[in-house]
């Protein structure tokens, strides 16, 4: 009989990691967030506190619930502090080599019955699971950004993932208040397989002079009912992440339609990564009034 999952480890304190830690702690799980950089952990805790304060102001969380949630949340820089977790979710950078190194280290310290999950947005779950001695207890749990606000989690079974592992993480996702969509272990899964080529095409439209940044975003917001335009969304996701996902789609599927737009690659080469770096398709020097690149 499988034990109920009560303790969750999160590897990575970036925007995805701190969001997952936030919803885990808020929904009754004991959460330990790990990052090699203590400054990243401090920043993540400040972000979680600020976001929970906003929930309190809106009335979706009480002050007492916030206090209880924060008490369930710990941070660490030591992998061994995750040894007793029932489930560990990796939310590190979208780099296969880095993820495999993390999973090899986790596999060595975790108790035998613990489950492993990756928040990867495009990398093969089967390949990541293969570096561990527990591929049957390995699964993809792809949360959407920003995690506290977005209702969806993509659940991805690897080739060796058991039905029991799948059902146990489905319970976790439900307890976190999320709605699940189940995807096969294919490049990009569901959301990024459909979304990223559209964002990439918006970059081509800009590169080819079809329209300027503002017109492209306005057209898709008002013409297709999207909550934000594709170039704004690319900036929000991070242009480096967009390029990484397009390269995975291109390399794995071998179709030229997935080739990253040269202008998008040029922005990344320049260090213009979108909102997080202060500049992308928009300049965020004044965050209240971002200026389009052209």
121 is catalytic: yes
* pLDDT over 80 at 1, yes or no: no
- Label residue 2 by pLDDT band (50, 70, 90): low
Q: Which of 22, 142, 183, 200 is catalytic?
A: 142
Neighbours of 278 (CB within 10 A): 15
Give the number of C-alpha atoms closer than 13 A to the C-alpha of residue 251, restricted to the C-beta side: 9
- Rounded CA separation 139/125 (Å): 7
Flag whether the pTM goes above 0.85.
Answer: yes
Q: Which of 51, 119, 121, 124 is catalytic?
A: 121
164 is catalytic: no
3-class DSSP state for residue 130? coil
Instruction: Give residue 94's pLDDT.
Output: 85
List, in sequence order, the alpha helices (H) in the chain: 15-26, 38-58, 63-71, 96-109, 125-129, 163-175, 191-207, 213-224, 230-237, 239-253, 262-269
3 is catalytic: no
119 is catalytic: no
Peptide bond before 146: cis, by omega within 30 degrees of 0? yes
In this structure, are residues 193 and 186 in contact, taking their beta carbons and an 8 Å threshold?
Answer: yes
Which class is domain 7-183? Answer: alpha beta
Boundaries of every domain in the chain: 7-183, 192-292
Where do we find the tokens 């080469």? 269
Q: Which of 122, 154, 183, 200 is catalytic?
A: 154
CATH fold, domain 192-292, is: 1.10.1040
- Rounded CA separation 276/279 (Å): 8
> What are 149-180's pLDDT values in tens digits?
999 999 999 999 999 999 999 999 999 999 99
């Amino acid at each position: 009989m499988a034990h109920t999952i009560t303790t969750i480890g999160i590897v990575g304190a970036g925007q995805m990691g701190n969001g997952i830690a936030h919803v885990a702690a808020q929904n009754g799980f004991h959460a330990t967030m790990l990052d090699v950089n203590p400054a990243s952990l401090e920043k993540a805790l400040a972000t979680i506190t600020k976001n929970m304060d906003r929930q309190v102001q809106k009335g979706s969380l009480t002050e007492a619930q916030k206090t209880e949630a924060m008490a369930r949340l710990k941070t660490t820089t030591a992998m061994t502090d995750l040894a007793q977790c029932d489930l560990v979710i990796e939310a590190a950078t979208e780099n296969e080599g880095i993820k495999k190194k993390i999973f090899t280290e986790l596999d060595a310290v975790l108790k035998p019955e613990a489950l492993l999950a990756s928040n990867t947005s495009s990398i093969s779950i089967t390949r990541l699971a293969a570096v561990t001695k527990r591929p049957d207890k390995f699964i993809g749990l792809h949360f959407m950004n920003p995690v506290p606000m977005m209702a969806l989690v993509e659940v991805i079974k690897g080739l060796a993932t058991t039905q029991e592992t799948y059902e146990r993480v489905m319970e976790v996702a439900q307890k976190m208040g999320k709605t699940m969509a189940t995807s096969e272990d294919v490049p990009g899964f569901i959301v990024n397989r459909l979304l990223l080529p559209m964002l990439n095409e918006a970059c081509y439209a800009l590169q080819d002079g079809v329209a300027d940044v503002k017109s492209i975003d306005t057209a898709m917001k008002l013409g297709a009912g999207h909550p934000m335009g594709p170039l704004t969304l690319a900036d929000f996701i991070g242009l480096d992440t967009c390029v990484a996902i397009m390269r995975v789609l291109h390399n794995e599927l071998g179709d030229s339609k997935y080739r990253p737009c040269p202008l998008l690659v040029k922005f990344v080469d320049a260090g213009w990564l979108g909102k997080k770096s202060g500049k992308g398709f928009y300049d965020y020097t004044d965050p209240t009034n971002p200026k389009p690149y052209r």
